[in-house]
Amino acid sequence: MERGFELMTMTSRERVLGLFEGKEVDRIACYSGMGNVTTAALEQLGYRFPEIHGDAQKMAAAGASSYHLFGYECAVIPWDMCVEAEALGCVMNAYEDVAHLLYPTIKEKIIHAPEDMSKVTIPPDYPERGRFPVVMEALGAIKKEIGNEVAVGTWLLGPFTLAGQIMDLNDLFKLVFKKPAEVNALLDTLADGLIMVAKKYKEAGADYITIREMGAPTDVLSPRSFKQVIKPHLEKIFSQIDSPKILHICGDTNLIIGMMNECGADAISVETKNDLVKSREVIGPEPLLFGKIDGYNVLVNGTPEDVERAVLESIEGGVDAVWPACDIWPTAPLSNLRAMVETVKKYGAEKWARKNR
């Protein structure tokens, strides 16, 4: 009886982190390892999207907003994939003067020729460069504000995706074939930098970290290439950063799900294109698998009924946390986001395969 009471009063934080610690938790949690700010929140806060990437206070307020607005069970920052590259000398574009919502991109890269690959080094003060300190300050602020109630998350790019930010991705693709040793050396260097930053992010207040290797699904790369240039570096990263740590890859991942599971993460997160039932056939019931609500087609364009259907499909597909397939697209209406959280609350115990084994 007493234990039941404990389970019933679990906070989102205990629910999210308890799962990684192997504790019994009451139900599946509804959260994310990736961006989930909404335009509804930005309007309330009076911020424009380009402003929240470089100001710690605004970043913290926007990061905590989904918990406040629709009971999302996490707070995650940042939203753009330029932080790691900027700290290496790239220049980002936040599209300050474009009226509609655009995600920041890198406008100046640092590798312009294959020879430049070997010139990349990680400065000893890498985590103090660029916007890393902004992210860390914001992590601390969020932790202080709501850290007792929800888990605070952050994310870093995988080394291959980061390489695609600091050099032309087309060139990188070809160099995987033409100069594999040089590519692997570069990715190994980048992995060292990411490990340094992951440690600092944890110290700054991150409860869990997602590594997003979004440039490596089989829409793009072969399983053979995944094994040669993606997996070894992810293995290195996961062996050297603290738990909880999650690996996320967008796009098609069924052909590589077995290898993703061997990278050493505590959980793997997949996109809408992944067939969960087939994934479970490969990895079995034990590994933690998160996913896969389409952050645009369902959460923005769908109705609350579509959202409920998508949530049930993920839960019945065998996920251990309902995560969106990628960033939640900011224009998603709150009614849909509430429907997502409510559906998970309603069915997250009863239909959770792990709980009912």
Partner 1 sequence: MATEKEQELLEKLANGVVNYDEEAVKEAAQEWLALGLDPNKAVFDGLVKGMQECGRLYEEQEYFVPELLMCADALYAGLDILRPHMKSEDVGVRGQVVMGVVQGDVHDIGKNLVKVMFEAAGFTVHDLGRDVPLEKFVEEQLRTDSEIVALSAMMTTTMVGMKNIIKAIKEKNPKAKIMIGGAPVTEDIAAKFGADGYAKDASNALKDAINMISSLRDLT
Residues of this chain that bind partner 1 (CB under 8 A): 93, 95, 98, 100-103, 105-107, 169-170, 173-174, 176-177, 218-222, 225, 255, 296, 300, 329, 331
Cβ atoms of residues 268 and 292 within 8 Å? no
Shortest CB 228 distance to partner 1, Å: 11
Distance between CA atoms of 59 and 51, rounded to whole angstroms? Answer: 8
Shortest CB 243 distance to partner 1, Å: 32
β-bridge partners, 268: 247, 289
Q: Which is nearer to ligand B12, 64 or 94 (CB)?
A: 94
Q: Is the peptide bond before 292 cis (omega within 30 degrees of 0)?
A: yes
220 binds ligand B12 (CB under 6 A): yes
Shortest CB 356 distance to ligand B12, Å: 29
219 binds ligand B12 (CB under 6 A): yes
Q: Which is nearer to ligand B12, 101 or 353 (CB)?
A: 101
Per-position DSSP letters for 93-125, written without gaps between them: E--TT-SS----EEEE-S--SGGGGGG----TT
Q: Which does 107 bind (CB under 5 to 8 A by kind): ligand B12, partner 1, none?
A: partner 1
Q: Which does 176 bind (CB under 5 to 8 A by kind): partner 1, ligand B12, none?
A: partner 1
Q: Which of 44, 57, 105, 148 binds ligand B12 (CB under 6 A)?
A: 105
- 71 Rama sector, left if φ>0, alpha if ψ -120 to 50, beta otherwise: left
Q: In 3D, which of 357, 303, 347 has the Cα closest to residue 30?
A: 347
Shortest CB 100 distance to partner 1, Å: 6
Q: Which does 251 bind (CB under 5 to 8 A by kind): partner 1, ligand B12, none?
A: ligand B12
> What is the residue type of 51?
E
Question: How many Å separate Cα 354 from the centre of its chain?
Answer: 23
Q: What is the DSSP letter of 11?
A: -
Shortest CB 271 distance to ligand B12, Å: 5
Q: What is the DSSP letter of 226?
A: I
Shortest CB 179 distance to ligand B12, Å: 19
Would you call 11 exposed, middle or buried from its count of C-beta atoms within 10 A (0-12, 13-18, 19+)?
middle
Strands 208-212 and 245-249: parallel
Q: Which of 326, 337, 339, 340 binds ligand B12 (CB under 6 A)?
A: 326
Shortest CB 346 distance to ligand B12, Å: 25
Strands 288-293 and 267-270: parallel
Q: Which does 337 bind (CB under 5 to 8 A by kind): partner 1, ligand B12, none?
A: none
Q: Which is nearer to partner 1, 142 or 162 (CB)?
A: 162
Q: Which is nearer to ligand B12, 128 or 219 (CB)?
A: 219
Helix (H), strand (E) at residue 247: strand 245-249
Would you call 309 exposed, middle or buried from its count of C-beta atoms within 10 A (0-12, 13-18, 19+)?
middle
Q: Which does 36 bind (CB under 5 to 8 A by kind): partner 1, ligand B12, none?
A: none
Cβ atoms of residues 19 and 31 within 8 Å? no
Q: Which does 84 bind (CB under 5 to 8 A by kind): ligand B12, partner 1, none?
A: none
Q: Which of 30, 56, 61, 81 binds ligand B12 (CB under 6 A)?
A: 81
Q: Which does 222 bind (CB under 5 to 8 A by kind): ligand B12, partner 1, none?
A: partner 1
Q: Which is nearer to ligand B12, 218 or 240 (CB)?
A: 218
Distance between CA atoms of 323 and 305, rounded to whole angstroms? Answer: 17
Distance between CA atoms of 157 and 149, rounded to whole angstroms? Answer: 27
Residues contributing to the site for ligand B12 (CB under 6 A): 35, 79-81, 102-103, 105, 161, 164, 169, 214-215, 217, 219-220, 250-251, 271-273, 295-296, 325-327, 329
